[in-house]
């Protein structure tokens, strides 16, 4: 993203994010969210369960954290301590997502997709993300305590779904790869967009998230990428 585009993009994204948050909390988006969820789920069924497992891991804390850490080791155009900024971006959006779920009462969809592999999928998720979620929960409680926020419902059993952390983290990783390792051209960003759209469709079709949750996750990832990615020099 060109430097001159970043500020208007960030401002527009933040405004849209706030509008989404207000609409979600007020229940104004429930009807369109429900329609999108029904349309996304209608052609599938329990056949989607393996894809749900993949999407769960692909947007989870452990897989995305490892991917960001590996990319930051030799990220093009980034040197020294700025490499930590790429990881700090991932950490910041993950904490922001968890804190907002703790603060914003937006119940998620009911009737999450189940299938013959659901138990195996949940067990795999617990092994992959359990320790990280426990640490994240402790950090979140500490932040709430320091900020005097009496709202702790504690990770990992957050009952609310706005914004989608899976959509935010997976989009952040795809954006890093597109900007740094896929040539930063239209083809790399097209691949990233397809990956983000696939993750989003699975999350909505499986009734894990509302479409507005996913859109908010994309905005969160986009703003974070605009902040941490190195600026391209003209010429």
* Whole-prediction pTM: 0.79
Tens digit of each residue's pLDDT (9 = 90 or more) over 193-208: 999 998 888 888 878 8
Tens digit of each residue's pLDDT (9 = 90 or more) over 167-192: 999 999 999 888 887 666 778 888 89
Q: What is the pLDDT of residue 47?
A: 53
What residue segments make up the domains of the chain, in order of their start? 3-29+46-228
Pull the structure tokens for residue 62. 């452990």
CA distance 55 to 211: 15
Secondary structure of the chain in HEC code, one letter for each residue: CCHHHHHHHHHHHHHHHHHHHHHHHCCCCHHHHHHHHHHHHCCCCHHHHHHHHHHHHHCCHHHHHHHHHHHHHCCCCCCCCHHHHHHHHHHHHHHHHHHHHHHCCCECCCCCCCCCCHHHHHHHHHHHHHHHHHHHHHHHHHHHHHCCCCCCCCCCCCCECCCCHHHHHHHHHHHHHHHHCCCCCHHHHHHHHHHHHHHHHHHHHCCCCCHHHHHHHHHHHHHHHHHHCCCCCCC
Q: Residue range 39-60: average pLDDT? A: 68
Tens digit of each residue's pLDDT (9 = 90 or more) over 74-88: 887 777 777 888 888
Helix axes 61-73, 118-146, angle to 10 degrees: 70
CA distance 28 to 193: 27
């Amino acid at each position: 993203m060109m430097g001159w585009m970043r500020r208007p993009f960030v401002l527009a994204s933040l405004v849209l994010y706030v509008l989404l948050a207000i609409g979600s909390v007020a229940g104004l988006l429930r009807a369109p969210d429900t329609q999108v969820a029904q349309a996304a789920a209608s052609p599938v069924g329990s056949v989607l369960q393996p894809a749900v497992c993949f999407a769960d891991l692909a947007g989870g804390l452990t897989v995305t954290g490892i991917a960001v850490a590996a990319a930051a080791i030799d990220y093009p155009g980034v040197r020294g301590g700025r490499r930590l900024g790429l990881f700090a971006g991932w950490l910041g959006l993950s904490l922001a997502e968890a804190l907002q779920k703790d603060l914003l009462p937006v119940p998620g969809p009911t009737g999450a997709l189940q299938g013959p592999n659901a138990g195996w999928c949940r067990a795999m998720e617990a092994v992959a993300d359990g320790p990280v979620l426990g640490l994240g929960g402790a950090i979140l409680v500490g932040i709430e305590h320091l900020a005097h926020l009496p709202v702790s419902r504690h990770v990992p059993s957050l009952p609310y779904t706005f914004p989608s952390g899976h959509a935010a983290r997976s989009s952040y990783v795809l954006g890093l790869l597109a900007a740094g390792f896929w040539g930063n051209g239209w083809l790399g960003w097209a691949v990233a967009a397809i990956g983000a759209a696939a993750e989003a469709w699975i999350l909505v079709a499986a009734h894990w998230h509302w479409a507005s949750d996913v859109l908010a996750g994309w905005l969160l990832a986009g703003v974070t990428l605009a902040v941490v990615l190195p600026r391209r020099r003209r010429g």
